[in-house]
Structure 1
């Protein structure tokens, strides 16, 4: 069951780059690309972020990123959020990565601003005060995998496909993948996966330790979501004081230390992208 969202969680008009403002007239009638669903009943305390951009396979575009940033900013102040679960409303895909078609229409300055916003988005997810879970029921490529890596826990369908594939397109992972993948798998293996742009299915990802659990996909295409929900239910009854981010300083120091920069800040011609 879902509870109605309080007014504070209704998203305002998203930020748009100058190149995207020509579509603003349609903003009032379009379906939100990010929807927040607060579960009720025995699942109260679990909140879901539903990614819903079917025509672009949940690609990370300006509107998508803006709506997600705003949702996170509002949810982080909500003490009722005990577990935050990221899932897709688009069958067969978690997040396809950066919206390269949208990027092609940006100026060099706009690209630089957008990449910085992507990095900020992943940092916001990583710093979210409650445990975060990514339910990967389909493709999670490039920035889609970087989004999942920013979460605390990852669940994948065995048929899901994931990888930091930017090098196959002459690009670089630009939103935290070069930091978080080595923390997850170790430096040597992370370098191998990034240099080759290799794609992994859910089973392979689980064998390497990239995801916590891999489950056989069902006919509805949401097996990873159901396993992620079950995991969220396991976390829910634990003392919230112990699961809030502010009490995990030792783990943060052990796994990340001080945040380091991605390969250079975007400048004209910089290939960083997610």
Structure 2
């Protein structure tokens, strides 16, 4: 179905694998177009409850952008490239279904930006993160300067971007860039197990948690007011009635997303 992706639905989780291992899964225009369509599927398909984004092979999640596409761009074309990339990554970030990055190797440049656009990250102990754009006379353009600063703090983010150093998975964990570090052969199974745990929760509440957490970082939104409104809306759902009743009856809740 996709020229550069492999996709598979596993127990409600849509596994999206960027499949250019010979190019270290670098992001070119075709990958970005395919990724946008795959994310649209996550939004629109009722049988998809969550998604995992990962890279094919053992070496790379995404080792950056396809630099060969940069050589002939004008400043205006470069800005438009960044705009289109930001739109796709914002779609990932703003999805009301959890999208998790399973980082299996190098996550550099646009790859690090893609991972950071996901709701959280699980890394193989072989993974390495970095924003080495200054080596090319560039800066991150798909939201990396913003999300990295939000995730690890201004000082550490600036150091990583200015030195172009690669951050090992264990350091990424201590910095707060990733949530978990696991053995490579456990990466997808562990990530899937986290999502299965989330699948058991009320879908509308999950969606509102994601929206409210994003509101905390939206300068144009009063996050507290958004949370208050979302909290109130939960009281109009059948899932709240089911969740409360199940709690009182000491049984597992059976949520329907209504």
TM-score bracket relative to the smaller structure: 0.7 to 0.9
Count of residues paired in the alignment: 221
How far did residue 67 of structure 1 move?
0.8
User: Deviation per CA, 1:195-241, whole angstroms, max 9, x where unpaired?
Assistant: 222211111100111100011334xxxx3222212211221211111
**Does the CA-based 8 Å contact 2:25-2:63 persist in structure 1?**
yes
The CA deviation string for residues 125-172 of structure 1, in whole angstroms up to 9 with x for no partner, is 111220111000100001100000000110111121111111222210
1:9-36: CA deviations, max 9, x gaps?
x55xxxxxxxxxxxxxxxxxxxx20232
Distance 2:41 2:89 in 1: 16
TM-score w.r.t. length of structure 1: 0.75
Higher RCO (C-alpha 8 Å, min separation 6): 1
Matches of 1:53 and 1:258, distance apart in 2? 38
1:174 partner SS: coil
Instruction: Map residues 1-274 of structure 1 onto 2, 5 A cutoff.
Output: 10=1, 32-39=3-10, 43=11, 45-106=12-73, 109-218=76-185, 223-244=186-207, 246=208, 248-258=210-220
Over aligned residue pairs, what C-alpha RMSD do you find? 1.9
1:52-93 alpha-carbon deviations (Å, 9 max, x no partner) = 012211111011111111121232111222111111122211
Alpha-carbon spacing, 1:192–1:108, altered in 2? closer, same or farther (3 Å): closer
Structure 1 74/159 Cα, relative in aligned 2: closer, same or farther at 3 Å? closer
Normalization by structure 2: what TM-score?
0.79
Instruction: Structure 2: state its 5+ residue gaps.
Output: 222-258
User: In the aligned structure 2, how far is the partner of 1:253 from the partner of 1:126?
Assistant: 11
Give distance in 2, aligned partners of 1:248 and 1:70: 21
1:78/1:211 Cα in 2 relative to 1: closer, same or farther (>3 Å)?
same
Contact 1:51 1:90 in 2 (8 A): no
Q: d(CA) in 1 for partners of 2:136 and 2:71?
A: 14
Whose radius of gyration is greater, 1 or 2? 2
* Alpha-carbon distance change, 248 to 55 in structure 1, aligned in 2, over 3 angstroms: closer
2:123 alignment partner, SS class: strand
Q: CA deviation at 1:103?
A: 2.0
